[in-house]
């Protein structure tokens, strides 16, 4: 299994924090967000290589970070050669770029590099193995207003995805979908088909509603904390919780 970490965005909503620093390299205490994510990936024995896809602006920053990485996996930083929001490839476009450039013919774990969480990726993988199907994650969103700005999923009694909608005006459930995905080897080949049909290359969640029209997809529903570092407010809130010892990421 290969892991692709999506880190090629420009995080303009976090300016001025991210004008000269990629979001994933912001720190909580003495750890970067990226280190907190790779600590979790290191626990998954089957992951061989972590590919971090970046843009031209922040490529060297990630290369420097990779020199200090102390985990058990191989790490390779990939430059998608985009320079701003206007010519960016989008998350799914970046997936295709890495898969093609590195000739990946394997199952993949796809993750955003800016979400910190306390559930086990090993448990996520166990359900993936048990169902032998593509897998997404989901968790109950307490603040119902937040459901309007994320992917929302409906599941049957076995955890199979029966509907998925990005940023719904009227959510059909209280299960939000964070950017953690496990795709089978033959599903990876479908990314080309998805893009060739002219579908949205941007947010990684856009691939899921298309995919459930082609094959079974299941959801691992987790409990616990997940923080999307998307705004200065969310970052400073996470920093304060970390400082006060109310976050688990120590």
Q: Which of 41, 176, 218 is nearest to 113 (CA)?
A: 41
| Domain contains 141 | yes
Buried b (16+ CB within 10 A) or exposed e, 5-17: bbbbbbbeebeeb
| Domain contains 238 | yes
> pTM of the full predicted structure?
0.93
Residue 140 is part of which domain span? 2-243
Helix (H, G, I), strand (E, B) or coil at 152: strand
| Domain contains 250 | no
| Domain contains 121 | yes
What does the pLDDT average to over 110-132?
94
**Could you report the per-residue pLDDT of 156-165, keeping only the tens digit for each?**
999 999 999 9
Contact 4, 51 (CB under 8 A): yes
Distances (CA, A) of 72 to 47, 117, 146, 232: 10, 20, 36, 32
**Could you report the per-residue pLDDT of 49-98, keeping only the tens digit for each?**
999 999 999 999 999 999 999 999 999 999 999 999 889 999 999 999 99
Chain centre distance of CA 231: 17
**Could you report the per-residue pLDDT of 169-215, keeping only the tens digit for each?**
999 999 999 999 999 999 999 999 999 999 999 888 899 999 999 99
Identify the CATH number of the domain in which residue 48 sits: 3.90.550.10
Q: What pLDDT shows up at residue 250?
A: 44
| 138 class by beta-carbon count within 10 Å (0-12 exposed, 13-18 middle, 19+ buried) | buried
- Count how many domains the chain has: 1
Helix (H, G, I), strand (E, B) or coil at 113: coil
| Domain contains 248 | no
| Domain contains 98 | yes
Q: What pLDDT shows up at residue 247?
A: 62
């Amino acid at each position: 299994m290969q892991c692709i970490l999506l880190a090629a965005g420009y995080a303009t909503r976090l300016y001025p924090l991210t004008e000269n620093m990629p979001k994933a390299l912001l720190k909580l205490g003495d750890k970067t967000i990226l280190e907190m994510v790779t600590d979790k990936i290191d626990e998954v024995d089957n992951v061989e290589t972590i590919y971090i896809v970046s843009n031209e602006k922040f490529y060297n920053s990630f290369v420097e970070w990779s020199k200090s990485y102390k985990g058990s996996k191989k790490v390779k930083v990939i430059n998608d050669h985009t320079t701003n929001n206007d010519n960016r490839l989008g998350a799914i476009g970046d997936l295709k770029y890495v898969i093609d450039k590195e000739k990946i013919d394997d199952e993949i774990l796809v993750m955003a590099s800016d979400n910190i969480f306390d559930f086990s990726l090993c448990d996520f993988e166990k359900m993936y193995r048990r169902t032998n199907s593509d897998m997404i994650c989901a968790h109950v969103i307490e603040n119902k207003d937040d459901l309007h700005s994320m992917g929302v999923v409906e599941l049957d009694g076995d955890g199979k995805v029966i509907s998925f909608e990005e940023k719904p005006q009227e959510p059909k459930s209280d299960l939000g979908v964070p950017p953690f995905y496990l795709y089978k080897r033959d599903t990876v080949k479908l990314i080309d088909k998805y893009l060739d049909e002219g579908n949205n290359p941007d947010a990684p969640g856009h691939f899921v509603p298309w995919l459930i029209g082609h094959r079974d997809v299941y959801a691992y529903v987790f409990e616990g904390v997940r923080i999307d570092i998307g705004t200065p407010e969310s970052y400073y809130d996470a920093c304060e919780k970390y400082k006060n010892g109310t976050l688990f990421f120590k």
